Amino acid sequence: MTSWSYTNVGLPTDALQVESITVTPDPPKPGAEAKMVIKGTVQTAIEDGASFDLTVKLGLIKLLHKQFDLFEELRNGSSSEGWSATPDPAGGPIKPGPVELTYVMQLSREIPQGRFKIQFRAFTADEDDLAALDFDFDFMPTAS
């Protein structure tokens, strides 16, 4: 992979103000574990019922479009795979203040060469905007 990038397309009124995103290893490698850490500030408490939509495209081909329950993902995640939050909401709301959302996954060795575009749109339990991010992961080989 040659690169990855993200664009914060959220609004100043979003419940979560994203400040930075890091990916380890940088850039991610097929067949390896990848860890993404989203650091930000929660402006208004995020209650159970919050959700996020994920759309993954390879070029013009839509590979995935799915809605997830944020708190269900946090409850089912662990430090070795899935979503986690610091501080851990322990089933309650994510309170205003600093927060780290971490996503860990094992990348397949069989990732097709190409440019993946990922849209992440998150919503509060009241369906207000929570956060909006666009990612670009380029798994094209580099010229030698």
19 within 8 A of 100, measured Cβ to Cβ: no
Residue 112 DSSP one-character state: P
Q: Give alpha helix (H) positions in 5-135.
A: 70-76
100 within 8 A of 123, measured Cβ to Cβ: no
What is the rounded average pLDDT of the residues 92-99? 94
Structure confidence at residue 79 as a pLDDT band (50, 70, 90): low
- What domains are defined for the chain? 3-138 (2.70.220.10)
Q: Write the pLDDT tens digit of every residue in 31-65.
A: 899 999 999 999 999 999 999 999 999 988 999 99
Q: Which of 129, 133, 134 is nearest to 43 (CA)?
A: 129
Structure confidence at residue 7 as a pLDDT band (50, 70, 90): very high
pLDDT tops 90 at residue 131 = yes
Q: Write the pLDDT tens digit of every residue in 101-117.
A: 999 999 988 888 889 99
Beta bridge partners of 46: 94
User: What pTM did the predictor assign?
Assistant: 0.89
Torsion from C-alpha of 97, 71, 61, 31, nearest 10 degrees = 90
